[in-house]
């Protein structure tokens, strides 16, 4: 991929990702439950034309289950990263424009949240909120806004000193107007890059927490659940039940991560010319 410039790479990645995400999402949402219903006659089958990913110990088709699981994981991941990006923008702006003590308190909280390992925090929060989707969402969102909030804070601090903002004030515009018209539009790219960069984290956290049994309930075929079930049967030689869902998860995460990284570099003026 070295031969293509960054913009081409981003467009290519974004297109690939869009197709893949949309495909997975649509298929996942459209799959009827019957497609991955248990069927003891087809239990523990290795990959074949009828079941490309094989079947699990209950005879459920693993391709369908994986797609459904990815679709759920992606919904959780998207929702969690969107919430955390919104938190980051609000907190970042509050820190940059609020009183000194507000900034100090926010910085203190950021240090605190960043100091504790995410997985432990997410487990604690989602456990305290009674597991399930809601706890998981809040747990992931509450732990992933920190670095974006820092970035936004710095950006707003710099913007606040721009001459055109001072001019706007002298032309009679209030703080709310300036925030909506001068500041927020400037933060849109950061918001989306932050969201995209958080997305793979969110999916991985969802998968790992569910895998550990603290996240989504077992009846939802999230990727973490599929992987954790497949672990039980790995020793019996059912390699396919872990390998295919795992690979698809990793592929998704890598793609999104790569896209976010390239976008970030395009927006970063020091490497934008590459």
Partner 1 sequence: MALEAKNISFRYSRKEPWVLQACDLSLARGERLALFAPSGYGKTTLARLLAGYLTPTEGQVLLDGAPLPKTGVCPVQLIFQHPEKAINPRWRLKRVLEEGGILREDILDAFGIERPWLDRFPRELSGGELQRFCVARALMSGADYLICDEISTMLDVITQAQIWNVILDEAARRNMGLIAVTHNRHLARRVAGRIYDLSRRQWDAADSNGA
The answer to the question of residue 160 lying near partner 1 (CB under 8 A) is no
Token digits of residue 16 = 């690939």
Q: How far apart are CA 258 and CA 250, in angstroms?
A: 12
The nearest distance, CB 115 to partner 1, in angstroms, is 34
The answer to the question of residue 170 lying near partner 1 (CB under 8 A) is yes
Give the total of residues touching partner 1 (CB under 8 A): 14
Q: Which stretch binds partner 1 (CB under 8 A): 32-40, 117-125, 137-145, 168-176?
A: 168-176
The answer to the question of residue 163 lying near partner 1 (CB under 8 A) is yes
CB atoms inside a 10 Å sphere around CB 213:
14
The answer to the question of residue 182 lying near partner 1 (CB under 8 A) is yes
The answer to the question of residue 32 lying near partner 1 (CB under 8 A) is no
The nearest distance, CB 182 to partner 1, in angstroms, is 6
The answer to the question of residue 162 lying near partner 1 (CB under 8 A) is yes
Token digits of residue 219 = 């009846």
Q: How far apart are CA 193 and CA 216, in angstroms?
A: 27
The answer to the question of residue 176 lying near partner 1 (CB under 8 A) is no
Q: HSE (CB half, 13 Å, CA atoms) of 240? A: 18
Instruction: Output 176-183 pairs: Cβ under 8 A, ≥24 positions apart.
Output: 179/93, 179/97, 183/93, 183/156, 183/159
Residue ranges that bind partner 1, judged by CB under 8 A: 162-164, 166-168, 170-174, 182, 185-186
């Amino acid at each position: 991929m070295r031969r293509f410039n960054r913009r081409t790479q981003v467009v290519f990645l974004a297109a690939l990702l869009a197709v893949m995400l949309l495909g997975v999402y649509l298929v996942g949402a459209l799959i009827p439950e019957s497609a991955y219903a248990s069927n003891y006659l087809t239990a523990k089958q290795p990959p074949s034309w009828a079941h490309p990913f094989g079947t699990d110990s209950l005879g459920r088709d693993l391709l369908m289950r994986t797609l459904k699981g990815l679709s759920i994981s992606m919904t959780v991941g998207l929702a969690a990263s969107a919430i955390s990006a919104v938190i980051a923008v609000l907190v970042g702006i509050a820190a940059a424009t609020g009183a000194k003590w507000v900034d100090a308190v926010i910085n203190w909280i950021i240090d605190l949240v960043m100091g504790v390992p995410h997985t432990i925090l997410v487990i604690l929060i989602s456990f305290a909120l009674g597991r399930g989707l809601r706890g998981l969402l809040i747990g992931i969102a509450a732990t992933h806004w920190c670095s974006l909030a820092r970035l936004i804070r710095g950006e707003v601090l710099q913007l606040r000193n721009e001459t055109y903002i001072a001019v706007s004030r002298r032309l009679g515009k209030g703080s709310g107007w300036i925030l909506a018209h001068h500041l927020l539009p400037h933060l849109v790219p950061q918001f989306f890059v932050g969201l995209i960069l958080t997305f793979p984290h969110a999916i991985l956290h969802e998968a790992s927490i569910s895998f550990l049994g603290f996240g989504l309930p077992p009846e939802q075929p999230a990727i973490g659940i599929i992987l954790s079930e497949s672990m039980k049967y790995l020793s019996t030689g059912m390699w396919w039940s872990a390998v295919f869902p795992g690979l698809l998860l990793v592929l998704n995460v890598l793609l999104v991560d790569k896209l976010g990284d390239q976008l970030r570099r395009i927006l970063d003026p020091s490497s934008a010319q590459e």
